[in-house]
Amino acid sequence: MTSKLIRSGFAITALLAATLTANAADLRTPSYKAPSYVAPSYGNWSGFYLGVNLGYGFGKSNWDAPVVSPSPKGALFGVTAGYNLQTGSWVWGLEGDIDWSGVKDNPVCGAGNCETSNTWLGTARARIGYAGWNNFMPYLTGGAAFGNVKATNSAIGSASSTRLGYALGAGFEYALWSNWSMKLEYLYADLGKFDCAASCGAVPDNVSFKANIIRAGVNYRF
């Protein structure tokens, strides 16, 4: 009788243990690990691109006669085109742009005002950038600058000339998403000087134009 009770107790205990184990397995939360987020890579800057730019220019102009120094300033906006070739972390490029310019100043000179204005400005430059910081690329740039410089003596007349000079600067570009990027840059442009002659009041009468330009841009890479 005692052995029957002992065997029955073992049987009941085993049955309860199996039931509890099954219930615990049902209650266990299944393990699931979400895939880790991988940011899209925009490290490859190679290829052609087109863009738009908007900025502000301020500079200096000197006249021989009358002796006056306008300080031209104003907005610029235009279009940009270029090509990049990336080798490792370095980006080598060529970039050109053409901008409408409202950079001008007209201080008083004698019986009238002497205005120096830049109606349009373009550049053709080389760029070298460093792409080793994820989507951020600082760069140096330099090359040719060209544009129209107009000198006006309101009491006498005016003359204009399309000038060729140089531009130097630096900036950075940041890849946003897909093929888009934005940039911020500084350029120093020197268009030299031209002889306004009798149209401005003297023979000769040289008028110079130099400008500092800060501008932002958005580019689309193909």
pLDDT digits (tens, 9 = 90+) for 94-140: 999 999 999 999 999 988 999 999 999 999 999 999 998 889 999 99
Residue 186 resides in a domain = yes
Q: Which residue range forms the structural domain that includes residue 141?
A: 47-221
Residue 162 resides in a domain = yes
Residue 30 resides in a domain = no
Residue 15 resides in a domain = no
pLDDT of residue 193: 95
pLDDT of residue 25: 47
Residue 9 resides in a domain = no
Overall number of domains in the chain: 1
Phi, psi torsion values for 202, nearest 5 degrees? -160, 165
Residue closest to 92 by CA, chosen among 60, 140, 59, 159: 140
Ranges of the chain with pLDDT below 50:
1-6, 8-17, 20-21, 23-27, 29, 37-42
Residue 121 resides in a domain = yes
**Is the pTM above the cut of 0.75?**
yes
Phi-psi region of 192 (alpha: psi -120 to 50; beta: other; left: phi over 0): left
Residue 13 resides in a domain = no
pLDDT of residue 43: 65
pLDDT of residue 133: 87
Is residue 185 within 8 Å of 203, Cβ to Cβ?
no
Is residue 22 within 8 Å of 184, Cβ to Cβ?
no
- Give the CATH number, domain containing residue 155: 2.40.160.20
What are the angstrom distances between the C-alpha of 194 and each of 32, 130, 159, 166? 75, 38, 10, 15
